[in-house]
Homo-oligomer: A and B are copies of this chain.
Amino acid sequence: MTDALTIHEAAETTGWSARMLRYVERTGLVAPVRSPAGYRLYGPAELQRLRTLRELLARFDVGLSDIGFAARLDDEPDLRGAVDEWLEGQAQRPEHVPAPDWLRWEQEKHEALLAAAATLSPSTTVTEAA
């Protein structure tokens, strides 16, 4: 009990390489406690975390940096908010723009504006006929 594995032992039981365990630590995703001498000590919790992390990366083919970003989203509400807001297609439309016009655009775009993009005004603005 009260077992703590050294980096190489942890590597063996988790499937990571010792090298990668150090790297993972640098990304801030799994940081083991240190012995007074500085040795990394991986407890059951860390080991489990490492195994599931491994599974996660493999299953969805994402990178450590992606998970790192997700973590950042988690403790940076501002970022989370800004990103979410941007993602939901600019939910809060900029009031300074008439709005009805730009809305049509979205609509048309999602439908078949492609073909209907016929009669447009000249100038540098692109125009074309079917």
Q: How many monomers of this chain does the complex have?
A: 2
Q: Decide if B125 touches A5 in the complex (CB within 8 Å).
A: yes
Q: Decide if A41 touches B90 in the complex (CB within 8 Å).
A: no
Taking the closest CB of chain B, its distance from the CB of A122, in whole angstroms, is 12
A70 proximity list for chain B (CB < 8 A): 69, 73, 83-84, 87
A110, closest chain B residue (CB)? B33
Q: Which residues of A are at the interface with B, using a C-beta cutoff of 8 A? A: 1-6, 9, 33-37, 39, 41, 43-45, 48-49, 52-53, 56, 59-60, 62, 66-67, 69-74, 76, 78-79, 82-84, 86-87, 89-90, 94, 97, 101-102, 105-106, 109, 113-115, 117, 120-121, 124-126, 128, 130
